[in-house]
Amino acid sequence: MWSSNDGLYIFPTLCILVCAGIAIEGANTVKAKVPALFTFGDSIFDPGNNDFIPTAVKANNPPYGRDFMGGKPTGRFSNGKLSPDFISEALGLKETLPPFLDPQLTTQDLLTGVSFASAGSGLDNLTAELASVIPIWQQVGNFKQYKAHLADLVGEKNASNIIGEAIYLSVTGTNDFGDNYLLLPTRRNQFSVAQYIDFLQQTCTTFIEDMYNLGARKFGVYGLPPMGCVPLEKTIMGQSELKGCIEELNQISVSYNSKLKSALNKLNARIPGIKVVYIDIYYSFLDIVNNPSKYGFEKSDRGCCGTGLVEIGPTCNAATPVTCSDASKSVFWDAVHSTERTYQLTANLVLQNYISKLL
């Protein structure tokens, strides 16, 4: 069982020391030493950490995971794999990236990477507090505990090499707007949209600096997707039947991404030895939503589960009627999250256009 200390989760004693040979395979094959992959953020990257904490924000019920290996829910908010799973496999690490809090982790898992992400989290601590999930600062704290345990397993020098050469991916921000700023008055009474974006950027910068101080050097930071295309957001705004996206929300994403890119460029210029890459998923995802047939999809205005307009987490369940039979034909799995096939397309984008910049 996991034990806790000051709110941070600590590893159980593990055995079996395994080393891995690494290769990256995207559309263009690149070979390099990438010993491990670590992810931080929200449900886009959470492979099941929330299953091990007291929160309602979980995807541990069917039909989640129905197309995953074994056909059972894993805590991933999708019908199958997430993008980091595909990236981990392409890097030659392992077929899927496990959650840090899984008590069944092996030493091989620890050596080659885990996910610290928590569904419902964000850069704003209030966002995580509202959902009773793991805030970004605690995800960093969990990584600190991981680092200490890794040193016990392989020695300080080997641990430093793994941490320094590993790739770190983060995705945050969507919940800060969708579940916090746009939905509740607290932050709106404190910040304009522009001010809130600046507030989030400061937290993102602090996150990267904290990870850098722990030895991390290679960061891929995802920008926001087109939030106005998310079925649940369209439903909340009373436009669920529209085929198009809500431009007002998409403009928030564009503004956020522009400032994020600028902030990351400043980090690269200011901090020695760091590599921070902005990963633009906005325009590629927007093209998928606007031109689904181009990518082999039939439906992009709603999710596969139930009506696809409101279902998410516990409300997307085995009893939900009219859930589609073939998720690969849908861009969205539930009213917020993508299908496995969409996540694979996103992973391909990262492998083809961004991973090489982190080597």
Distance, in Å, from the CA atom of 299 to the CA atom of 335, rounded to the nearest integer, reads 12
SS3 266: helix
Distance, in Å, from the CA atom of 12 to the CA atom of 1, rounded to the nearest integer, reads 7
Characterize 322-359 residue by residue with b for buried, 16 or more Cβ atoms within 10 angstroms of its Cβ, and e for exposed: ebbeebbbbbbbbbbbbbbbbbbbbbbbbbebbbeebe
Backbone angles phi, psi at 106, to 5 degrees: -100, 170
**Which H helix or E strand runs over 279?**
strand 275-279
Contact 133, 83 (CB under 8 A): no
Backbone angles phi, psi at 236, to 5 degrees: -60, -35
Backbone angles phi, psi at 218, to 5 degrees: -120, 105
DSSP string, 316-339: SSTT-TT--S-GGGEEESSSSSBP
Distance, in Å, from the CA atom of 24 to the CA atom of 278, rounded to the nearest integer, reads 19
Amino acid at the residue 30? V
Contact 238, 247 (CB under 8 A): no
Distance, in Å, from the CA atom of 265 to the CA atom of 258, rounded to the nearest integer, reads 11
What residues are labeled active site? 43, 334, 337
Distance, in Å, from the CA atom of 343 to the CA atom of 234, rounded to the nearest integer, reads 21
Name residue, tokens 């209030």.
Answer: 126
- The total number of residues written for the chain in this structure: 359
Contact 223, 261 (CB under 8 A): yes
